[in-house]
Homo-oligomer: A and B are copies of this chain.
């Protein structure tokens, strides 16, 4: 299976093409939208998350409720794109908006501007953005639908935020009920408090997320070649995710931290 995604944070929307999905797999927006919704939850998310409420449109590869073996195309419109038409116009505009020139530390802003020669850092940040992960979450939901057929399940739980550490039980209901995806109610509240405190100090917090995959089919990956080892493949997928937790006090500059 191959995946390419495209789409800017404030452009018309995101698109993903997933090549190589098996045929006859039951699939529809109802398998994808709940994960898009879960992505938008969580304490300390920016205001953006509240206006987005993503929904996927499948435009290729699925017919009458099942995959055909053809590449799957997923489209996720950006709901506030209408407000950004001049800034993000594909065509030149007579009165272009001012360039973004403030570089955020810990982001791809400086490296991207140097790599591509951009004077307007918006050309980097529109893609190097938490928004980009929405397309990956949608593609991940398709992958989960494939795993479901062989009985594999993937669950996650927050183990650490700042100084607060919990012991994951992977109790899905308790995890989903928590603002910080931690099944321990007291620890969950302590994590929320820690985030609020950091935000008030103009700071952010890191954390650790635990994953549990059950009923794994033997033989995924192989130790026979360096780039097909399962450990490495999983590590690449996880470490390439950039989840920016924005927790900002009024009047301060934006701060960002990367959580794997």
A residues contacting B by CB (< 8 A) are: 2-8, 11-15, 17, 19-20, 23-24, 28-29, 58-65, 68-73, 75, 88-93, 96, 108, 110-112, 114-118, 122-124, 126-128, 132, 136, 218-219, 222-227, 229, 231-240, 242, 258, 260
Contact = CB atoms under 8 A, between A and B. Distances in A.
B115 A69 contact: yes
A231 B239 contact: yes
Given A19-B4, A71-B4, A222-B69, A116 B24 contact: yes
Contacts of A63: 8, 88-90, 122-123, 126
A17 B16 CA distance: 8
Contact of A70 (B59, B127, B240): B127
Contacts of A59: 6-7, 11-13, 15
A19 B70 contact: no
Contacts of A92: 64-65
Contact of A114 (B68, B72, B219, B238): B219
30 contacts: A4-B4, A5-B17, A5-B226, A6-B17, A6-B59, A7-B60, A8-B60, A13-B59, A15-B59, A15-B60, A63-B89, A63-B123, A68-B126, A69-B112, A69-B118, A69-B222, A70-B123, A70-B127, A71-B127, A114-B218, A115-B218, A115-B219, A127-B223, A128-B223, A223-B242, A231-B239, A231-B258, A232-B235, A232-B239, A235-B239
